[in-house]
Amino acid sequence: ETGVTQTPRHLVMGMTNKKSLKCEQHLGHNAMYWYKQSAKKPLELMFVYSLEERVENNSVPSRFSPECPNSSHLFLHLHTLQPEDSALYLCASSQVDYGGGYTFGSGTRLTVV
Amino acid sequence: QKEVEQDPGPLSVPEGAIVSLNCTYSNSAFQYFMWYRQYSRKGPELLMYTYSSGNKEDGRFTAQVDKSSKYISLFIRDSQPSDSATYLCAFRTGRRALTFGSGTRLQVQP
C-alpha cells in the first residue's frame, strides 16, 4: 500500500463510547498531523507530531487524545465526545524540513449521536 | 480579520470555460503557497505549489502569487466536469503547519 491510509472510513459513536482513529503512512515522512474538517469551515489543525514528538496542540479538548508510536503510525483516541465533534477527521504526513505540502488520507467521517 | 479569506462559492461554469479561484491573506510571513483539490468523500490532494511571486503553469492549471497584494489565484483552462471539486488554498511559514482557506466549491457543467 502507498500513501496515507485512514481507518475506519466511517464511524458512528455515542457520547459515552471510546473509540480510536488510525492513520498509517507509507511515504517515509517524519511528520504527521490531525486536522478536523467541518462544513463551510477551514481545516482546523488539531495536533502535529514531528519526529514522533508532539510539537503542536491547538487547544484541543482533552476528549481527543493523540498517540504517535512511530513515524509511520498516528492514532486519535476519542472519549465522551459531543455532537458538535461530528466532522471529517483528516490525517496528513510530510517531511518536516521540506517546505512543501502534505499528503492527506481520505479521512474518517465521524458522527456523534 | 481572518488570516485567509476564500469565497466558498459554489461557482458553476460551463465545460470549456476558464475558471479563476482566489484567496487573500493577511500574514506577510507566509512563504509557501499551495492549492489543494478535494473531491467529495476524499482527502485534499496537492495540486500546485509555489514559493515566490509570479506564475507557475502545469498543464491546464496556472497558479499566480502576488505577495505585494497578498493575493493568490488558481486558473483552470478548458475546464472539465472532472474538475468539479472543492479547491482549497493553503499557506505555510517555515516549519509551521499549513493554514488553509475554507475552500471554494466548483461545479463544471457538461
Q: What is the pLDDT of residue A99?
A: 64
Predicted pLDDT at A98: 65
pLDDT band for position B9 (cuts 50, 70, 90): confident
Write down the pLDDT at residue B70.
94
Give pLDDT tens digits for A33-89: 999 999 878 899 999 998 777 777 778 999 999 999 998 999 999 999 999 999 999
Would you call B102 an interface residue with chain A, using a CB distance cutoff of 8 Å?
yes
Q: Which residues of chain A have a CB within 8 Å of the CB of B32? A: 99-101
Range B30-43 average pLDDT: 93
What confidence tens digit (pLDDT) does each residue in B91-102 have? 988 767 889 999
Beta strand pairing status for B45-50 and B61-66? Answer: unpaired
Q: Which of A72-81, A95-104, B85-94 has the lowest mean pLDDT?
A: A95-104
Neighbouring CB atoms inside 10 A of B81's CB total 10
Q: CA-nearest residue of chain B to A106? A: B43
A42–B101 CB contact, under 8 Å: yes
Beta pairing, strands A87-94 & A108-112: antiparallel
**Which 8-state DSSP code applies to residue A100?**
S
Q: Cα(B109)–Cα(A22) distance, rounded to whole angstroms?
A: 37
For A54-93, the three-class secondary structure string (H helix, E strand, C coil) is EEEECCCCCCEEEEEEECCEEEEEEECCCHHHCEEEEEEE
Model confidence band, residue B18 (pLDDT cutoffs 50, 70, 90)? very high
CB contact under 8 A, A101 and B90: yes
Asked if the Cβ–Cβ distance from B51 to A43 is below 8 Å, we say: no
Structural contact between residues A102 and A85, judged by C-beta atoms closer than 8 angstroms: no
* A21-35, A52-66, B28-42, B45-59: the lowest-pLDDT one: A52-66
pLDDT value at residue A1? 53
CB of A45 within 8 Å of a chain B CB? The answer is yes
Q: Are B43 and A45 within 8 A, CB to CB?
A: no
Q: Mean pLDDT over residues A14-32, rounded?
A: 93
